[in-house]
Structure 1
Amino acid sequence: MKTRTLYISDLDGTLLDSNSIVTSHSIENINHLLQKGMLFTIATARTPATVVPLLKQLQLDLPVVLMNGAVLYDIRNKHYIQTNGFTDDSALRYISVLENRDLIPFVYRIENNKLQVFHKPLVNDIQRDFKYKRENTPYKDFIPTDNYTAELTDNPPLFMLVIDRFDKLETAAAEITRAGNCSVFCYRDIAVPDYGNLEIYPKGVSKAATAQLIIDRINPWEVVAFGDNLNDLPLFNLADRRYAPANATEEIKRQATAIIPDNDHDGVARFLCEDFL
């Protein structure tokens, strides 16, 4: 058994199937391996609002990396261990760039151990569906606003997320990258390729940077990463071995040690059963 190997998996498109769930087969097999001492955790762009219910049946002991590294989260005790947000007013400058391009960001911050998401009126169905699926939970409040500056001056945000047409996002990402001192991730939505996500974090924030905190704590012999999209590349660069499901983007596949079965065929769990035991 590889009890000193740390396995780190992305969720969407990787551990989650196309219905955005962890299948009963994956739950049963991963829990069996965890009981035998496997070191396993999650690194995802998602927030506690969806991660906690999605993973409630997994017996995870290690902290999880959420919001692409903006936070390290204790999933058992529902507590933010560390946050890596903006510490100055630079986020407001990036928001101004987005608004000048008619883009509406979801702006995330933490207040009293609860996530708040500020947004102006939403303009497309994908934005509205994103909010609908994530609101009314004990872990996150969506707060409409007509003035980001008034909301954020005294408490800078963790990060910004924009959901819109990919061509618009790509252009905005290039402008912010040129002008700013931040970490920018821009990638297509796998289910709706004409649309995508643009995420803006303080410089240096990534899944890998926050996963390093876990690595420093447990000192594994090796790190194995699973991912399917461009925001997983920093994690891949950190890992000793890298595995991409068959549904992953071509760039991720090129960086992978090997390709595993796709996310609709329990690729991560099937690999873990073969690799750990």
Structure 2
Amino acid sequence: MQGKWVISDLDGTLLDSRQQITQAVKQRIRLFQQDGGFFTLATGRSLNSALPFIEELNIKVPVILYNGAKLYDPIQKVFLKEHALPVSSFRHALYNYELTGEGLGLNVLVFCQEQIYCPSITNTVERYMQKDKVNIIETSMSDLYDLFQSSTKIMFLGDPDALKSFQEKCFSRTEQPVAPLWHAVQSEPELLEILPPNVNKGSACLELIEVLGLDMADLTAVGDNLNDIEMIALIPNGVAVQNAHPILKETADWVTSRSNDEDAIIEVFDQKAVAI
């Protein structure tokens, strides 16, 4: 699989504000693939949520899911790499939700073996389900604790200020010992994700390179938010779209002049570093 690669984030990067991929972008990706290029995704979404886009774009190479916690092969239909939350991190997250997060009006989702669970389907959770087109199973808090053995990540949803306060109090660096027990990241202002330690899109890119024997110089990565920072910093040609978070723009090698609503990814394909 040697050749030029483009690894793109989904929300806010490849998808427009209507959560769609425009025909112009799909056509440009097809041309890139037909010319021998490889296109794939690096997203915080679960497999069920990302699969329609994988099929729509006819992606035949591994895809990064759960912000780096899983590497999925769409041809073999298997996970090549999987990382789970340590039990202590899992319990820390749920305990602090009950102690602090719930009082801040936050919602909690537990991602376990391609299912999503929560203690209450609120309006906020409904909106998340509609946006990501996923089904969420309502269950009790006591039953959530029973999912500790194979949970991929825990997500908190709610007001950005409340999430910031919650993260600073319960998931700051000072809350961890020397060896990290989790990786906390915001992929959107209304979402806080607790991932396995040392897991991010950058670490998943390294796993992709190792599994396929790729040359990092052939890779281009594109993103828009804070969960893309490790990937954009790692890849020699790291790109931020125009609508990206200011910190990501500072991290990127360059910034597109177009936003995700203006087919920014086409601008990426047209640059010399990607051209085949």
Q: TM-score, normalised by structure 2?
A: 0.86
Q: In the aligned structure 2, how far is the partner of 1:172 from the partner of 1:87?
A: 20
Taking a change above 3 Å as real, the CA distance of residues 72 and 188 of structure 1, as seen in their structure-2 partners, is closer
Q: What is aligned with 2:265? A: 268
1:251 aligns with 2:244: no
1:245–1:262 contact (8 Å) kept in structure 2:
yes
CA distance in structure 1 between the partners assigned to 2:207 and 2:18 by the alignment:
31
Rounded to whole Å, the distance in 1 between the matches of 2:109 and 2:48 is 15
Task: State the superposition RMSD in angstroms.
Answer: 2.0
Q: Which has the higher strand share?
A: 1
Give the counterpart of 2:165 among 161, 167, 171. 171
Residue of structure 2 in register with 1:57 after alignment: 56
| In 2, Cα distance between equivalents of 1:64 and 1:187 | 17
Matched residue of 2:43: which SS? coil
Measure how far apart 1:79 and its partner are: 2.7
Q: Give the drift of 1:75.
A: 2.5
State the partner residue of 2:146: 151
Residue identity matched to 2:107: I
Q: Distance in 1 between matches of 2:88 and 2:45?
A: 24
Distance 1:225 1:133, change over 3 A: closer
What amino acid is aligned across from residue 173 of structure 1 in structure 2? Q
Q: Compared with structure 1, are the counterparts of its residues 164 and 213 closer, same or farther at alpha carbon in structure 2 (3 Å cutoff)?
A: same
CA contact (8 A) 1:97 1:176 kept: no
Counterpart residue type for residue 161 of structure 1: M
Matches within 5 A, 1:1-277: 4-101=3-100, 102=102, 103-110=106-113, 115-123=114-122, 125-134=123-132, 141-146=135-140, 147-153=142-148, 155-174=149-168, 175-177=170-172, 178-180=174-176, 181-186=181-186, 188-189=188-189, 196-216=190-210, 217-222=212-217, 223-260=219-256, 261-275=258-272, 276-277=275-276
- Name the CA distance, whole Å, in 1 between partners of 2:200 and 2:120: 29
Report the 3-state secondary structure (helix = DSSP H, G, I; strand = E; otherwise coil) of the residue aligned with 1:40: strand
| In structure 2, C-alpha distance between the alignment counterparts of 1:25 and 1:130, rounded to whole Å | 27
Q: What is the CA–CA distance in structure 2 between the aligned matches of 1:33 and 1:263, rounded to whole Å?
A: 19
Find the aligned partners of 1:186 and 1:263 in 2 and give their Cα distance: 19
- Gapped regions of structure 2 (runs ≥ 5): none
Aligned-partner SS, 2:158: strand
- The percentage of counterpart residues that share the same residue type is 25
Q: Distance in 2 between matches of 1:97 and 1:34?
A: 46
Cα separation, 2, equivalents of 1:259 and 1:149: 41
- Is the partner of 2:198 in helix, strand or coil? coil
Query: Structure 1 stretches of 5 or more lacking a match?
Result: 190-195
